[in-house]
Structure 1
Amino acid sequence: MKQIEPTDPSGLSQEQAQAEFLQLQAQLSAADQAYHQEDAPFLDDAEYDAIKRRYQALAEAFPALKEAATQLDSVGAPVSSGFGKIQHVVPMLSLGNAFEDGDVADFDRSIRSYLGLSASQPLSFTAEPKIDGLSLSLRYENGVLIQAATRGDGATGENVTANARTIADIPQQLEGAPDVLEIRGEVYMSHEDFAALNARHAERGGKLFANPRNAAAGSLRQLDAEITRVRPLRFFAYSWGDLSTPLAETQAGAIGRLHQLGFQTNPLTKTCNSVAEMIAHYRLIEAQRATLGYDIDGVVYKVDELDLQARLGFRSTTPRWAIAHKFPAELAWTWLEAIDIQVGRTGALSPVARLTPVTVGGVVVSNATLHNEDYIRGRDSKGAVIRGGKDIRIGDWVQIYRAGDVIPKVADVDLTKRPAEAVEFTFPDTCPECGSDAVREEGDAVRRCTGGIICPAQAIEKLKHFVSRKAFDIEGLGAKQLEMFYGDSDLPIRTPVDIYTLADRDAGQFTKLKNRPGWGDQSAANLFAAINEKRNIPLGRVIFALGIRHVGEVAAKDLALHFGSWEELAKALDLARPAALAHRTADLAEEREREQASSEGRRAKIKETRDGALSRLELHLATREAWEDLIGIDGIGATVGLSLSDALANAQERAVINDLVAQLNIAAPAAQSQESPVAGLTVVFTGKLEKMTRDEAKARAESLGAKVSGSVSKKTDILVAGPGAGSKEKKAQELGIRILDEDGWLAEIAST
C-alpha cells in the first residue's frame, strides 16, 4: 500500500494551525497522564509520536505557536499518590525525535552549528536501540544501592526502591564504582516472559496485559514488592545522572564501564562517525526488530564525546546532544461515520472525523483530524489539489494515516466504495455552540466564530486554560468542575475573576456549593482554600494564564522577567499601542505591495509606503521606544507584541483582566542567578562570535540571570559586539551603552 505524504504544515494559515495545535495539546496531556502515571496508555508509541511530531511541526512552522507549546516542555507526569517522592538531583529528561533520514542529518547539522564545527570536522555518535519500557534511576553510594526512582515528571519520581531490589539485572552492590553513581536505564519485559505471564493470568481468570511495556510498568509500580518479585522484569543500563567522578571520556567508554560494573547494556550499541553510518545502523536494528525478543521503537543517537555533551547542554526538556530516530507507523482503512465541528478557545471551527473504530499498529482509532473546510474539499490552504482532488464525505471508505508527521487523519478516499447517497459536506457558516456567524476572512484557511465571550465553547476553553497545570493550577478546579460552574445559575464562573469571588457569592458557610451533588462541607472548604492559596501567584503564570493568543509559557516568563510587574507591562502596552497600530498598518501596506513587487523599484516603493504609514501617524518618540522595547525582547517580536496590545486594548477583556489583577498578589520574578555580575542586566549580542556560538552565548547569559534582547534601546546595559557588528554597535555608541568585545564579555562573567 502506498504511503501518502503529509501536508506541509507551513502551508496552513495561523488560525488553522492554532486550532489544530490546541487539540493536539489536550491529547498529549491526557496521553502523558495515562502512560506515565496510570500505566494504561490509550495511544501506542507510534500514535503518540505522530501527535507530538505534528504538534512540534506546527510550533516550528508558526513561531508564535512555539511560545504556547506547553507539551514540548513537559516530561512524563506527576507521581502517583501511592508512592513516596524522590527528587532527581539531575532531571530525567525526554528525547527529541527524528522520523526521517533528513531529520538525522538536520540533527548532525544543528550540533555542528551550535559547536561551531564544519561539515568536514570529525564528530562521533553512539547509536543504540530505544527500549520500549519504563525509565528507572538507581542511586548507589559507596557501591550500595540506596534508592530507585521512576522518571515521574522529570524532576520528581516515585520511590520504587523495594521493587527495584527484586529485579535480577539490577546489582545490589558494585565493586570499583564512583562513591556516588546514579545509573539510568529501562525496565522491560521480554516477549517470551510476557506471553508466559499472560498465560498464568488467563489460567487464574485474571486481567491480561495489553503489551510488554504495560506489563513491565505495572509490575514495577506495585505497592507490594512481592508482586514485583514474581514478575519477570529485566533492565538495560544506558545512561547516568549524578556522579562523584566521571565514568569515562566518551559515551561509548562510559557504557563499557557500566557493563564492567555488572549492568546489562545493549549489545547493539555502536559508535558511528557519520550520518550515513548512523542511518545504516538504524536500518540494521530495524531489520532485526522482530527477532530481538523485546520491544524497541527506534534508535537513539548521542554525541560520543562527553565534553561536547557538556557544552551542548539541555533545552527545557531535552538534551541537545541526543535524539531518538523512531520507526515508522502504519495505515488502515475504515468507514467515516460523521463529521463533527469543534469550537476552540480562539473560536476556530475545526472538523473532526468520527470513524468506525479501526486498529492501526495495535491502537484503536475512532477519531481523526480533517484540518479545515479546504482539506475536506480536496484542496490545501493555497487552493492546490491534494488527494487527487477527491473530497471527503460522510459514509466514505477512508484511509487513516498515522506516520510520524501527523496525528491520525483521513489521508485518502476509495471512491469505488462511496455510497450513492453520500453528498458533499457543507461546512457551517454559523457557530454550532452559540449560533453566531462563523466568518472566514480573506486569505485565512480557518472559519472562526464571532461570538467571543458569549460563545460557551470559547469561554470554557479559556477558563480551562486559566486553571491548567502551568497556569494557576487550582487544585479541585478542573475541566469537569468548570463546566458545572459555567452552567450554574446560582454560582456561575464565566470569567477568571468569578473564581476569586466564588466564596463571597456563596454566603453562609458554603450553603450553596455544599448542597450540590458531589460536594460537602469539606470539599467546599478545600476548594475555597485552594483558590485563596493561588491569590499569591508569579507574574509569568498570570500572563500565561490569560490565554492571550501567541503568548505561551516561555513568552510569558520572558515578559515577566523584562517588565517585573503587571503594572509596568500594562503601562508599556498602553504606551506602545499607537506604534503597534502603525506597525500593523505599515505591514498591511507592505504585504499588498509585496504581492505586486517585481523589481527593485517596486521594493523601494514598499519601503516608502511603510515609512509613510508610520510618519503619517506622527507617533510620539516615547510610543516608538515602548514598542521597540517590547518587540526587542528576545523571543517576543511583533506577532506577540500585537497580540498583547490587542488584548489589553479590548475594553471587555481589559476590564476582566483588571478585575482579576485586583484579586491577586502578583510576585515579581527572581533573577536566575543573584550572585552573577550580569544578573538583571539587559544584554544584546551582535556581530560574529568566535569563541562560542550565538546560541551558547545566549544560554550562558540567561543562566546567569541576564535578559537577552534582540535590539538595542535605552534599556540595554551591555552590547557584546563581534566583528561585523554594524548598526547595533553604532546605535549603542549613540546611546552611551557599554560595549564589550567577546573577550571582554568572557572576562565579565569569568567569576561565575
Structure 2
Amino acid sequence: MNERIEKIRQRIQDLRAQIELHNYRYYVLDTPTIPDTEYDRLLRELQHIEQDYPQLITADSPTQRVGAAPLKAFSQIVHRRPMLSLSNAFDDVEVEAFDRRVCEGLAVDNVEYAVEPKFDGLAVSLCYENGIFKTGATRGDGYTGENITLNLRTIKSIPLLLPVENPPPWLEVRGEVLMLRTDFLALNQRQSAKGEKEFANPRNAAAGSLRQLDPGVTAIRRLTFFAYGVGQYQDCHMPLDKHSHVMAYLASLHFPVAKEGGVVKGLQELLAYYQEIEVQRARLPYDIDGVVYKVNSLAQQERLGFVSRAPRFALAHKFPAQEAITQLLGIEIQVGRTGALTPVARLKPVFVGGVTVTNATLHNADEIERKDVRIGDTVIVRRAGDVIPEIVSVILEKRPVEVQVFVMPEHCPVCGAKAVRLVGEAVSRCTGGLFCPAQRKQAILHFASRRAMDIEGLGDKLVEQMVDQGVVRTPADLYKLGLSALANLERMAEKSAGNILRAIEKSKHTTLARFIYALGIRNVGEATAKDLAAHCGNLDRLIEAGSERLQQIPDVGPVVAQSIADFFAEAHNREVIEQLRACGVHWHEHEGISVLAGEMRPLQGKTFVLTGTLPIMSREEAKEKIELLGGKVSGSVSKKTDYVVVGADPGSKYDKALSLGIAVLDEAGLLELLQER
C-alpha cells in the first residue's frame, strides 16, 4: 500500500511541476509550449488524483490556486477580490453534468443562464474611484496582478471617466483586452515592412502590447477592451439581481460588452447557443475559443459559491480544435529553457486554423510511441486551442515502406550533458542546468530571482542582452562583471550599471536554502530547498549525499532525490558552484541540522500564524526563519496554532488568537524565541 501511495505522490509531484511550468510560460511569458488541450489534460489528471487521495492535497498544488506569479517589470496590485478562472467543458456531456450540478445545488428543475463568447485575450481589472479610472491590473496569479494602468489608459475603448452624475465611490470592472483581427493584420504588415518579427496570433500580439514598459508602444498597437463583469464595488447603483442586468449597466457606462451575449434557459438552450456562436465564429471581428455560461441570478451565484480555483456557477465550453492532413518530414529535438528535450515534428507546410503550419509538438517519447509516429508518415495536425500545433494521429493506410522510427537521444544535443528521464516523468531532461546554452537565460533569471539570490534589477531584457552578447554564460559570471561590461549594454548607463553591481555584491551573502533553490535543480522548489538546507547542514554534505541517503530526509522521495543526484553528478555543474564560492558567495556553513545524524529541528511540530506588518522583517523573511528551525507557518488561526506573530494593523487573526488563548508575539518576541532555539 505504501509503495502505491508513493507512486501516486510521485505522479502528483510531476503533474504539479509540469502545470506550474506551463502556467509560467502561458500566463507570465506569453510563450506557451503546449496546446490548451494538453494543459487541460494535465490539470484534470491532477484534479482526479487529488479527489481520490485528498490527504495528498497541499496548499502549493496548482488546483489550489488560479494561475501564475506576476512579472517583476511592473509594480504589483493586490486584487480586493480574487480573479478566479473558469472550469472547462469540451463536450455536451460535461455541459449536461454542469447543468445538473447547478440544478441540484439550487434544488430547482430549470435555471436561467447568461451566455457570452469566450474572448481569447488577457483578463484585466479596472478600478474606478468616484467615477475616475485610477488603476488597472492583469489577473496575475488571481490574487496579485501587474500594475499596467498607463498601458490600459491608452486603450480608447476604456472610459477614463464614467458618464454618470453620481458615480460610485469605488467600482471594479473586469474584462478582457484583445486585438481585433483587422488590427492584428495591420500590425503584422507594419512589422513585416520594418523587417521585424511578426506575431503568431492576435492573443500573443495583445499580450506583448499590453506588457510594454513604454505606454507609447501600447498606444500604437490598437488594443480593444470588452467588459464581462464586476469585482468589488461600493455604494453602487448597479442592479444586484441578475448578471445580464449588470452587463446592461456596464454598457450604460460606455463599457464595450459582447453584443453576442444573451440569456437562455436550461441545457438545450445552452447547447443551442454554443452551436450558434460556433457557426458565427469565423465572422466575428475577434478571436474566441468557446462560450461562457453563468447562472444569471446573482443570489443563486452566491448560494452556489466556489471551489478552490473556480466558481461553481460558471463554465467555459471550449470549441474543438481545427485539424488538417500533411506529411511528417522529420523530427528534431528542441531543448527548452528548463532543459526539457521536446521532439518537434517538421511538417510539409499546411494551412490550418488560419495560419500556415510547418512545425508541431510531439510532446515526448511516450506520445510518439503511443501514436506510432514515424518519419515519412501522413499525419493529422491540429492547432489545439488555436495556439500551438500538435500531431493528433497517423493515417496508417498511407504509410510508405521507407518510414523511419525515431529514438530519443541519450545526451543533450546542445551541450552534450546526460539526458535523464526520471521515474514518473514524461520527458527527458538535460542535466547540465548551470552551463547548457539552451538553459542559460532561464538559469540566470531563476538564479537572480527574488526568492533565490534576490539580485534586484536583473530582469529579462538585461539577462537576454548579457547572454546574447556573451558577457555572461553561467551564474558565476555575474560575480565577475565589471562596470564597463555592463555600462556598454543597451539602455545601461554607468549609474544603472553601478546599481546592478551593488545588487550583485549584496547577494553574495545569502542562506544555504536560497542558494540551493537558486541552482534550479529539477523538482527542488523553495520548500524542498529549505528542507535540504536544514537537514543536510552544509552544501558539501548535500553534494556528496547519494540518492539513497537523500531519501532519509522527510518529503524527499526517489524522484526528487534522483534529480538532486543527477544534477550534482555533472562535473560542469559542480565547477560552476565552485566558481560561485570562489567569487565570494557564502552563507553560514553551520546553518541547519543534519538529519543523517538523527537530530530534530527545535521548532518541529510548532505552528505559527503571521498577521499585520512587521516593523523590520518582511513576512516572507519571518516565515523563512521559522521554517528553517522546523516550524510551520499557516494562513489561519485554529486551536492547533502555537504562536500568532502580530505586526501593525493585524486584523481578525489577532482577535481570534486572544479569544482562543494562543500565545501572541511581536517581532521582537519572535526574534527572541528564534534566538533561544
The TM tier, using the shorter chain, reads 0.5 to 0.7
Mapping 1:386-401, distance limit 5 Å = 387=371, 390-393=372-375, 395-401=376-382
- 1:502 and 2:483 matched: no
Contact 1:50 1:406 in 2 (8 A): no
Q: Deviations over 1:139-182 (max 9, x none)?
A: 4433x334363637424123257545x54977642245422222
- 1:305 and 2:305 matched: no
Q: What is the identity, as a one-letter code, of the residue corresponding to 1:305?
A: L
Q: What is the identity, as a one-letter code, of the residue corresponding to 2:384?
A: A
Q: Deviations over 1:475-516 (max 9, x none)?
A: 44659958977998xx9765x5x267435xxxxx55777799
Q: What is the identity, as a one-letter code, of the residue corresponding to 2:359?
A: N
Mapping 1:635-646, distance limit 5 Å = none
Give the alignment's Cα RMSD to 1 decimal: 6.6
Corresponding residue for residue 230 of structure 2: 240
Q: Structure 1 residue 546: deviation in Å? A: 4.0
For the residues of structure 2 that align with 1:547 and 1:341, how far apart are their CA atoms?
A: 22
Q: Structure 1 residue 424: deviation in Å? A: 3.0
Q: Structure 1 residue 100: deviation in Å? A: 1.0
For the residues of structure 2 that align with 1:159 and 1:454, how far apart are their CA atoms?
A: 39
Contact 1:56 1:72 in 2 (8 A): no
Aligned residues: 588
Q: What is the SS of the residue equivalent to 2:278?
A: helix
Mapping 1:648-663, distance limit 5 Å = 656=577, 663=586
Contact 2:374 2:405 in 1 (8 A): yes
Q: What is the identity, as a one-letter code, of the residue corresponding to 1:402?
A: R
The correspondence for 1:159, drawn from 150, 163, 183, is: 150
Q: Deviations over 1:36-86 (max 9, x none)?
A: xxxxx899xxx8634643564576588899968699632776668xxxx78
Q: Structure 1 residue 582: deviation in Å? A: 9.7
The correspondence for 2:134, drawn from 131, 137, 147, is: 147
Q: What is the identity, as a one-letter code, of the residue corresponding to 2:360?
A: A
TM-score normalised per structure 2: 0.61
Corresponding residue for residue 368 of structure 1: 360
For the residues of structure 2 that align with 1:309 and 1:56, how far apart are their CA atoms?
A: 26
Contact 1:177 1:261 in 2 (8 A): no
For the residues of structure 1 that align with 2:89 and 2:66, how far apart are their CA atoms?
A: 17
For the residues of structure 2 that align with 1:125 and 1:500, how far apart are their CA atoms?
A: 56
Q: What is the identity, as a one-letter code, of the residue corresponding to 2:504?
A: I
Alpha-carbon distance change, 478 to 238 in structure 1, aligned in 2, over 3 angstroms? closer
Q: Deviations over 1:716-739 (max 9, x none)?
A: 759xxxxxxxxxxxxxxxxxxxxx
The correspondence for 1:673, drawn from 607, 611, 633, is: 611
For the residues of structure 2 that align with 1:16 and 1:226, how far apart are their CA atoms?
A: 40
For the residues of structure 1 that align with 2:224 and 2:217, how far apart are their CA atoms?
A: 15
Q: What is the SS of the residue equivalent to 1:174?
A: coil
Q: Structure 1 residue 431: deviation in Å? A: 4.7
Higher relative contact order (CA closer than 8 Å, sequence separation 6+): 1
Corresponding residue for residue 412 of structure 1: 393
- 1:127 and 2:107 matched: no
Q: What is the identity, as a one-letter code, of the residue corresponding to 2:586?
A: Q
Contact 2:637 2:657 in 1 (8 A): no
Contact 2:322 2:382 in 1 (8 A): yes
For the residues of structure 2 that align with 1:534 and 1:99, how far apart are their CA atoms?
A: 47
Alpha-carbon distance change, 359 to 33 in structure 1, aligned in 2, over 3 angstroms? farther
For the residues of structure 1 that align with 2:146 and 2:638, how far apart are their CA atoms?
A: 24
The correspondence for 1:49, drawn from 33, 36, 61, is: 36
- 1:529 and 2:502 matched: yes
The correspondence for 1:466, drawn from 439, 447, 466, is: 447
Contact 1:28 1:51 in 2 (8 A): no
Contact 1:396 1:414 in 2 (8 A): yes
- 1:98 and 2:88 matched: yes
For the residues of structure 2 that align with 1:570 and 1:121, how far apart are their CA atoms?
A: 60
Q: Structure 1 residue 518: deviation in Å? A: 11
Q: What is the SS of the residue equivalent to 2:148?
A: strand
Q: What is the identity, as a one-letter code, of the residue corresponding to 2:138?
A: R
Q: What is the identity, as a one-letter code, of the residue corresponding to 1:73?
A: G
Mapping 1:509-524, distance limit 5 Å = 510=483
- 1:336 and 2:323 matched: no
Q: What is the SS of the residue equivalent to 1:402?
A: strand
Contact 2:465 2:489 in 1 (8 A): no
Alpha-carbon distance change, 251 to 125 in structure 1, aligned in 2, over 3 angstroms? same
Q: Structure 1 residue 350: deviation in Å? A: 3.8
Q: Deviations over 1:72-115 (max 9, x none)?
A: 632776668xxxx7846537846245141355567679999xxx
Most deviating of 171-180 and 268-277: 268-277
For the residues of structure 2 that align with 1:217 and 1:407, how far apart are their CA atoms?
A: 16
Mapping 1:278-357, distance limit 5 Å = 278-290=270-282, 294-302=286-294, 304-305=297-298, 312=305, 322-342=314-334, 349-357=341-349
Contact 1:100 1:325 in 2 (8 A): yes
For the residues of structure 2 that align with 1:243 and 1:416, how far apart are their CA atoms?
A: 61
Alpha-carbon distance change, 251 to 209 in structure 1, aligned in 2, over 3 angstroms? same
Q: Deviations over 1:398-428 (max 9, x none)?
A: 3223335995332233456656654333444
The correspondence for 2:68, drawn from 65, 74, 82, is: 74
Q: Structure 1 residue 524: deviation in Å? A: 5.3
Alpha-carbon distance change, 293 to 641 in structure 1, aligned in 2, over 3 angstroms? closer
Alpha-carbon distance change, 252 to 48 in structure 1, aligned in 2, over 3 angstroms? same
Q: What is the SS of the residue equivalent to 1:425?
A: coil
Corresponding residue for residue 550 of structure 1: 523
For the residues of structure 1 that align with 2:434 and 2:273, how far apart are their CA atoms?
A: 55
TM-score normalised per structure 1: 0.56
Q: Deviations over 1:114-155 (max 9, x none)?
A: xx959879987543222345655444433x334363637424
For the residues of structure 1 that align with 2:125 and 2:564, how far apart are their CA atoms?
A: 46
Most deviating of 60-69 and 418-427: 60-69
Contact 2:361 2:391 in 1 (8 A): yes
- 1:704 and 2:636 matched: yes
Alpha-carbon distance change, 75 to 648 in structure 1, aligned in 2, over 3 angstroms? closer
- 1:174 and 2:164 matched: yes
Gapped regions of structure 1 (runs ≥ 5): 1-10, 36-40, 380-386, 504-508, 585-622, 632-636, 682-700, 709-715, 719-743
Alpha-carbon distance change, 353 to 296 in structure 1, aligned in 2, over 3 angstroms? closer
Q: What is the identity, as a one-letter code, of the residue corresponding to 1:528?
A: L
Contact 2:411 2:418 in 1 (8 A): yes
Q: Structure 1 residue 392: deviation in Å? A: 0.9
Contact 1:369 1:409 in 2 (8 A): yes
Alpha-carbon distance change, 541 to 173 in structure 1, aligned in 2, over 3 angstroms? farther
Q: Structure 1 residue 331: deviation in Å? A: 1.3
Q: Structure 1 residue 432: deviation in Å? A: 3.5
Contact 1:68 1:550 in 2 (8 A): no
Q: What is the SS of the residue equivalent to 1:408?
A: strand
Corresponding residue for residue 246 of structure 2: 254
Q: What is the SS of the residue equivalent to 2:289?
A: strand
For the residues of structure 2 that align with 1:441 and 1:226, how far apart are their CA atoms?
A: 44
Q: What is the SS of the residue equivalent to 2:406?
A: coil
